[in-house]
Chains A and B, each alone.
Chain A
Amino acid sequence: MSRSAELLAGATLLAGLAWAGMGLAQQRPAAAPAAVPAAAQPAKTGLGREAHPAEVAAWSIAVRPDGQGLPPGRGSVKQGEDIFQTQCAACHGEFGEGAGRWPVLAGGRGSLKGENPEKTLGSFWPYLSTTFDYVRRAMPYGNAQSLSNDEVYALTAYIMFLNDLVPESFELTRENFTSIPMPNVGGFYDDDRETSERAFWNPNPCMSDCRPTPPRVTGRARVIDVTPEGRSGPRVE
């Protein structure tokens, strides 16, 4: 068989397979009505498989503000302090103050309106659930998902203590978890740009003589001089 004849035969075979596939697809709706009486049900392809309950449990670890997703467990401030010193303090400081440039976890209360807001778990985060969820899924940085549920409860309790939200004797459990109010829980509202920034929708933006005087330069990146490498601002000879 010549090369081109082989190719042709292959193409014919592929076309045959494609038609066979379509035939199968066409058969499916005919069989469907018996199993799915509801008219609005989208067609199923049958691809994928049902998840095993243990698989869902292994991955579905998100915790909501209402406590949904919290595992059984408990941990005290005292236990949390010990874990924090070995697992967390190298980056976050012994008291959550942040080592070097790593994130600060405590303090900053009342700073949100100021010139330099310090957004910590105590000063900014609206929900305690986020602390538990995030520590459990993503910390320690570089060794995520290595902590037991009790250890995460204990660390959460210690971080609350560092933020003056609970006394040193406190123990956090799944049962008392949602009873501790966070200071900034009321500090958030849903995106309102379409009303608060309504003026940015403008059918006739100014096209000429838009300002009475020529603009003046009020700030220059070159003066601040924090751009990496000279290539970012070549000089022209």
Chain B
Amino acid sequence: MTPRETTRLDRRGFLGAAGLAGAGLAATATGLRAAPPAAPDPLITTVQDWARTLGDGVQARPYGSPSQYEKHVVRRDVEWLTASRESSVNFTPLHELDGIITPSGLCFERHHGGIAEIEPGKHRLMINGLVDKPMVFTVEDLKRFPGRQNHAYFLECAANSGMEWRGAQLNGCQFTHGMVHNVWYTGIPLKTLLDEAGVRTNAKWLLAEGADSSGMTRSIPLEKGLKDCLVVWSMNGEALRPEQGYPVRLVVPGWEGNMWVKWLRRIEVGDQPWHQREETSKYTDLLADGRSRRFTFVMDAKSVVTNPSPQAPLKHKGPNVLSGLAWSGRGRISRVDVSLDGGRNWRSARIDGPVLPMSLTRFYVDFDWNGQEMMIQSRAIDETGYVQPTKDELRKVRGVNSIYHNNGIQTWLVHANGETENVEIG
């Protein structure tokens, strides 16, 4: 049996199990093609402008931008979410992207005091507290350290999908899941800087602080800081964007985005956490009994189908590509299951591209669609055996007021005309 036949059979079995097999499906599977048109296509039979005249020369676009026909692929915000634009969030257009790397200019933004515009020559990074020698580094110092590393990691806001705790609210995966991005970082291990200052033996916690007007601070266990945290100056091969912390940010792999302090200016070493505003008032998870979890650092396994989705409806019957993203703060994604019938039946999706620890992972299901209604879901499983729960399973443990860490399974209702809606099912 050829690989192609395997794929097709698998596809049929998938739809059959989902109860969607039908006459229309069989017709597309046998390979019906559209007949030639009655009139020839003028896009082919007449010479187009771009095939006759010269385009821009090499230096017309010294820093290139996307095609003018991709202007709709932008970050978007939801004004009613926050009281001001400077302490707010916008969303990555996940439904317009593919693969696992988020273009730097589309990475969602979350600021608490707006974007700090810092001249790199004026930036300083201090290490103080329980160290042998408090130290100050310039950005140039950082770039001279040995042991530079490159890693792709997802950064997910703790509040991603937070508006969906009480039910389906926002109609599009950009809004329900777009507080996540995944880029290549270049930098040095935080451990390198801590070693340079000499961490004392009674040290247990780190305080990371930003240089912006929110003075963003988070307490981080020393163990995590020594294990895999990075101090980075580069994303996707170039300098960090200002909105992502230029010139220096902290990378805290697998942990909630709030801890990835941007415009990083200070690391204090201590023996206790500091219980700062962003780990008491915010980024604590209120449960139904009125008590709250604190220090909920890890982002659990999660996934979402990005296509089809409300902003990217199905437009054609026959062959279609279902695509989505899965990620886990606990390690690698080991499997993604997809259901077309609201979780009654599942098939494992095809994962393509690198499967890196604590990175977005791309999955696909190639399928034929005969115009039937579908309830699409995806379910991520990571290498620790954690299975992405349903929203109802999460609510059973946590109630509906915990704001953060909603990694429940998303359902998209695809109508017979291809329109796709964010729904909850029961």
Nearest CB on A from B336, distance (A): 12
Do A188 and B145 have beta carbons less than 8 Å apart?
no
A86-113 interface with B by 8 A CB criterion:
100-103, 112-113
Does the CB pair B195–A138 fall under 8 Å? no
Q: Could you say which of A44, A142, A187, A222 contacts B195, with CB atoms under 8 Å apart? A: A44
Given contacts A130-B275, A210-B344, A221-B170, contact A112 B385 (CB under 8 A): no
- B150 on interface, CB distance cutoff 8 Å: no
Bitwise, A134-149 to B at CB < 8 A (1) or not (0) is 1001100110110000
Given contacts A113-B288, A144-B213, A210-B343, contact A215 B425 (CB under 8 A): yes
Decide yes or no whether B290 CB sits under 8 A from chain A: yes
State whether the Cβ of A10 lies closer than 8 Å to any Cβ in chain B: no
Given A51-B136, A231-B72, A234-B313, A209 and B345 contact (CB-CB distance below 8 Å): yes
In this assembly, does A179 line the interface, its C-beta being within 8 Å of a C-beta of chain B?
A: no
Smallest Cβ-Cβ distance to A143: which chain B residue: B213
**For residue B279, which residue of chain A has the nearest CB?**
A130
Measured CB to CB, the closest approach of chain B to A170, in angstroms, equals 22
Asked if A76 is an interface residue, CB under 8 A from chain B, the answer is no
Asked if A232 and B425 make an inter-chain contact with CB atoms under 8 angstroms apart, the answer reads no
Q: For chain A, which range describes its interface: under 10, 10 to 19, 20 to 34, or 35 or more residues?
A: 35 or more
How far apart sit A192 and B293, CA to CA, in the bound complex (Å)?
Answer: 8
Task: Tell me, rounded to whole Å, the shortest Cβ–Cβ distance linking B250 to chain A.
Answer: 16
Closest to B282 in A: A119
A64 at interface by CB-CB < 8 Å: yes
Closest to A204 in B: B387
- In whole Å, how far is B187's beta carbon from the nearest beta carbon of chain A? 14
Decide: A60 and B128 in contact? CB cutoff 8 A.
yes
Q: A65 on the interface (CB 8 Å rule)?
A: yes
Looking at B43-51, B234-242, B362-370, B416-424, the stretch in contact with chain A turns out to be B416-424
Inter-chain contact A133/B135, CB cutoff 8 Å = no
B83 at the interface (CB under 8 A from A): yes
Q: Is B156 interfacial (CB-CB < 8 Å)?
A: no
Q: In the complex, what residue of chain A is closest to B377 when comparing beta carbons?
A: A215
The size bracket of the interface on B is 35 or more
Are B426's CB and A216's CB within 8 A? yes
Known interface pairs A220-B168, A221-B169, A229-B76; A48-B141 also in contact (CB < 8 Å): yes
Chain B residues near A207 (CB, 8 Å)? Answer: 337, 345-347
* Cα of A7 to Cα of B419 in the assembled complex, Å: 59
- Please report which residues of chain B, range 103-160, place their CB below 8 angstroms from some CB of chain A when the two chains form the complex: 112-113, 126-129, 133-138, 141, 144-146
User: Count of A-B contacts with CB under 8 A?
Assistant: 272
Interface flags for A191-221 (1: CB within 8 Å of B; 0: not) read 1110011011111011111110011111111
Query: Is residue A29 within 8 Å, beta carbon to beta carbon, of the partner chain?
Result: no
Interface string of B84-119 (1 = CB under 8 A from A): 101100000000000000000000000011000000
Decide if A47 touches B144 in the complex (CB within 8 Å).
yes
- Whether the Cβ atoms of A45 and B146 lie closer than 8 Å is yes
**Could you say which residues of chain A place their CB within 8 Å of the CB of B296?**
191, 193
Residues of B within 8 A of A6 (CB): none
**A189 and B291 contacting across the interface, CB-CB below 8 Å:** yes
- Among the listed A130, A201, A222, A226, which residue makes an inter-chain contact with B386, where contact means beta carbons less than 8 Å apart? A201
A101 and B133 CA atoms in complex are apart in Å by 45
Task: Give chain A nearest CB distance to B220 CB in angstroms.
Answer: 13
Q: Give the shortest distance, in Å, between A140 (CB) and chain B (any CB).
A: 10
The residue that A205 contacts in the complex, of B207, B266, B314, B381, with Cβ under 8 A, is B381
A144 lies within 8 A of B170 (CB): no
For residue B209, give the distance in angstroms from its CB to the closest CB of chain A. Answer: 7
Q: Is B292 engaged at the interface, CB distance under 8 Å to the other chain?
A: yes
Contact of B385 among A43, A66, A188, A203 (CB under 8 A): A203
Render A48-70 as a binary contact track against B, CB cut-off 8 A, 1 for contact: 11110001100110111110000
B78 at the interface (CB under 8 A from A): yes
| A residues apposed to B, CB below 8 Å | 25, 42-45, 47-51, 55-56, 59-60, 62-66, 100-103, 112-113, 117, 119, 121, 124-127, 129-130, 133-134, 137-138, 141-142, 144-145, 187-193, 196-197, 199-203, 205-211, 214-222, 224, 226-229, 231-236
Q: List 11 A-B contacts (CB under 8 A).
A: A60-B268, A64-B274, A138-B213, A216-B426, A226-B78, A227-B170, A227-B310, A232-B171, A232-B175, A232-B310, A235-B419
Interface residues of B, Cβ cutoff 8 Å to A: 17, 72, 76-80, 82-84, 86-87, 112-113, 126-129, 133-138, 141, 144-146, 167-172, 174-175, 192-193, 195-196, 207, 209, 213-215, 217, 265-266, 268, 270, 272, 274-277, 280-281, 284, 286, 288-298, 300, 310-311, 313-315, 337, 341-347, 375, 379, 381, 384-389, 393, 397, 401, 413, 417-426
- Having A56-B134, A209-B345, one finds 19 other A-B pairs with CB under 8 Å, namely A45-B145, A47-B137, A50-B134, A63-B274, A112-B290, A138-B215, A141-B113, A144-B213, A145-B215, A189-B291, A189-B292, A197-B389, A205-B346, A209-B344, A211-B344, A218-B426, A219-B424, A232-B76, A236-B418
